[in-house]
Amino acid sequence: MRALPATVLAVCGLIASACGGTGTGGAAAGQAAPATEAGQAAATAPTKEAAAKEAPAKDAPPKAKPLEGKVVVIDPGHNGGNYRAPKAINRKVNVLTQMKACDTTGTSTNDGYSEAAFTWDVSKRLTKILENRGAAVKLTRTSNNGVGPCITERAAIGNKAKADAAISVHADGSAPGNRGFHVIMPKKINGPVDKVVGASGKLGVAVRDAFRKGTGLPYSTYIGRKALDYRSDLGGLNLSTVPKIFVECGNMRNATEAAKFRDPKFRQKIAVALANGLQHYLQS
């Protein structure tokens, strides 16, 4: 979640609407596919005898899915277009404990795989898994070529959705020798987040345990205790009124972890682990 050097960025002047970016196209495209699949199934199924024989089974009441009725907001950290809009993303916003940049570019592997692309891919995978388990999922951005939204808006999306759990997906950019993942949870700040600090702590431990088990990545060697860290400087946490955590999936500047993050199979492993942690919390 660390930003590129300040020299890359400039001071802001753009209006807030620039933070909306080019987001909506992705959502429309994403929604189109399932509709098409459903349409094909409806058109072909009645003509096949086999399908007709199976029909009663399909009409049987569906098994209740484990996350039916739960709302999860996933916040894929940063955005692929942020580097193009330094003025918009450097605009200072109030995160209650301080003024902070609206968003940052995020980090990348040494060979140029960006954190924004990584968090977007993992978040899409996580969305699919949670939806298959019955949850209603909302993302804070709908593509990886837009700008923002600001951290204040990312928190507001979770609040507005009245999410049962919210998770902000990131990867760190630390010294090359540093290893491992960590989870960041909110602290009491004498603000609206205080009432969900306890629940966020439980969510954090559930995701920490599932992430360790599912990915095999070590606890962070350089932040927190047993991969648990508590902060009061993150807008995405300070401004949340629903249980929320950040996960830093590992260190993109470490060669071992960078290679794993580039592998789609490993990203799927991360997404399944995150889903398992969220589910454990949501069913507890």
CB of 93 to Zn ion, least distance (A): 16
Q: Identify the active-site residue in 115, 153, 248, 257.
A: 248
Say whether residue 224 binds Zn ion (CB under 5 A): no
User: Which x/- pattern, by CB under 5 A, does the window 134-173 give for Zn ion?
Assistant: ------------------------------------x---
Q: Catalytic residue at 115?
A: no
Per CB under 5 A, the segment of 16-24, 70-78, 83-91, 189-197 that binds Zn ion is: 70-78
Range 41-48 contact pairs with CB under 8 angstroms and sequence separation of 24 or more: none
**Nearer to Zn ion (CB atom), residue 106 or residue 148:** 106
CB of 49 to Zn ion, least distance (A): 54
Q: How many residues bind Zn ion (CB under 5 A)?
A: 4
Which position's Cβ is nearest Zn ion? 1
- Contact by Cβ (8 Å): 116, 260: no
Token pair belonging to 153:
């808006």
- CA proximity to 129, closest of 239, 29, 274: 274
Cα–Cα distance measured from residue 99 to residue 102, given in angstroms and rounded to the nearest whole number: 9
**Nearer to Zn ion (CB atom), residue 118 or residue 266:** 118
SS (H, E, C) 68-88: CCCEEEEEECCCCCHHHCHHH
Cα–Cα distance measured from residue 136 to residue 138, given in angstroms and rounded to the nearest whole number: 7
Sign of the alpha-carbon torsion through 32, 115, 278, 179: positive
> Quick one: which of 21, 23, 76, 77 contacts Zn ion (CB under 5 A)?
77
Catalytic residue set: 248
Binding residues for Zn ion, per CB under 5 A? 1, 77, 106, 170
